[in-house]
Amino acid sequence: MRSAICTALLLGLMLIPVSTLAAEGRDAPNCLNDTPAGFSSSTVIGDGACIKVNLGVLNPGDVYDISIIVSQDALDVLVFDENSIQPYDLGQSYRSSYETVPSTESALGSFEFHWKVPPSITSKSWYVVFDNLAHSGDQGLGDQGGADGRASLTLSKITESYWTPYHNVLALESDSSLELLSGDQMLLDAGTTIVVSAWPLQGEGDIYLQTQSMNNLYTTGGVGTQYITGAALQSISSTDSFSWTVPQELGGQPLYLVVDNTDSPLGGANGSEAIRLTVRVEYAPPIQPVISVDSNGSTILGQAVTLDASSSANRLEQIASWSWDFDAAIDLDADGNFTNDAEASGVNALALWNTPGDRIVTLTVVSQTGISASTTTTVSVTDV
């Protein structure tokens, strides 16, 4: 009797269509494959279809300018790496797999942002999926198809300036803020220029540069000035930027760069909706060598004097090399330049002379970007 029942059950299962069982599980989307070069606004993503654009192997830390246009009907635009795309390809739940900040569900219109390839031990292949279907992996969220859509994608690598401590697209929920830079990254020499640029992607936010006391007021809800005059962007609705130079009194003092999506300070956006924006921060540090001499700038024949340039502005390690010429009256290398004989290198040098007289010492520094600057001091050498 039991054998007959089992046989009947097996026969019943065999009569259920395979397609019915598949619909209960993991329908793979079977996207068409494309490249940025071949993908344009003339490309149609049909209702119930998807296209997977292979961006190639990208290096962690590189920044790309990405422009996406979706027209005719909304699409889900999703960014994956070679590992995180596997659940999507298999029709599994992928909502925790894609890069949420550069991705846009139910996208329609123009989207432009700068995206920094996330940290990774090795370089990976990256993909942008244009999704126009309802499938088991989207949990009923995002665009569900219904009509044909069109899309275009352009991608170009950005050449960064040498001192770019931040450059990426970021996201903030409503009534929240993000301390973007602080600590050692914002302990800067007087004379350092800070340039902050922003490109809005969704909603309107604010960016504030603050001193320690201003940041304390901001974080505690205190009353008073909460950002540096001339160093703020408020209600960012289009590309905007500010440039500010660290004054002498704030050299080496803590500074804070905050992205704000709240209703304070006054004059900014109201923080009522989530925002996304690209932020780029660039520094232009001063290249200004300074020489200090012990013994009040004098010495005697055959006695070494210490030349010290450690007080030169160099908090960002902007100076790559230091070269000392001990006598502007002598051209040791016979190149026609009397101040570039490179008799010593490094932040400090010891010099001595065997004849009396005033010696003009020249220090030449070269920055990490190849900018050079020089300064001089005079050392009196006496015969005792």
Question: Nearest CA to 166 among 157, 179, 150?
Answer: 179
Three-state SS for 382? strand
d(CA 89, CA 240): 39
pLDDT of 24 reads 40
What is the average pLDDT score of the chain?
91
136 and 87 in contact (C-beta within 8 Å)?
A: no
pLDDT of 272 reads 94
**26 pLDDT band (50/70/90 cuts)?**
low
**140 pLDDT band (50/70/90 cuts)?**
low
pLDDT of 12 reads 46
**373 pLDDT band (50/70/90 cuts)?**
very high
- Residues ≥6 apart with Cβ < 8 Å to 26: 90, 91, 92, 136, 137
Using the predicted structure, report yes or no on whether residue 159 has a pLDDT greater than 50.
yes
* CATH code given to domain 24-157: 2.60.120.680
CATH level 3 topology of 292-382: Immunoglobulin-like (2.60.40)
Which residues of the chain does CATH 2.60.120.680 include? Answer: 24-157, 166-284
**40 pLDDT band (50/70/90 cuts)?**
confident
Mean pLDDT of 222-246: 96
d(CA 68, CA 115): 13
pLDDT digits (tens, 9 = 90+) for 170-204: 999 999 999 999 999 999 999 999 999 999 999 99
Show the tokens assigned to 82. 């070679």
Lowest mean pLDDT among 125-129, 139-143, 218-222: 139-143
pLDDT digits (tens, 9 = 90+) for 260-316: 999 988 788 999 999 999 999 999 999 999 999 988 899 999 999 999 999 999 999
Mean pLDDT of 72-89: 95
Using the predicted structure, report yes or no on whether residue 21 has a pLDDT greater than 60.
no
Place of tokens 């604010």: 206
Show the tokens assigned to 120. 């990774």
pLDDT digits (tens, 9 = 90+) for 92-131: 888 889 999 999 999 999 999 999 999 999 999 999 999 9
**18 pLDDT band (50/70/90 cuts)?**
very low
325 by Cβ neighbours in 10 Å (0-12 / 13-18 / 19+) ranks as buried
Percentage of the chain modeled with pLDDT above 70: 91
292 by Cβ neighbours in 10 Å (0-12 / 13-18 / 19+) ranks as middle
Cα distances (Å, whole numbers) of residue 135 to 20, 25, 78, 142, 357: 14, 10, 14, 11, 87
Q: Supply the pTM of this predicted model.
A: 0.88
pLDDT of 1 reads 41
* CATH code given to domain 166-284: 2.60.120.680
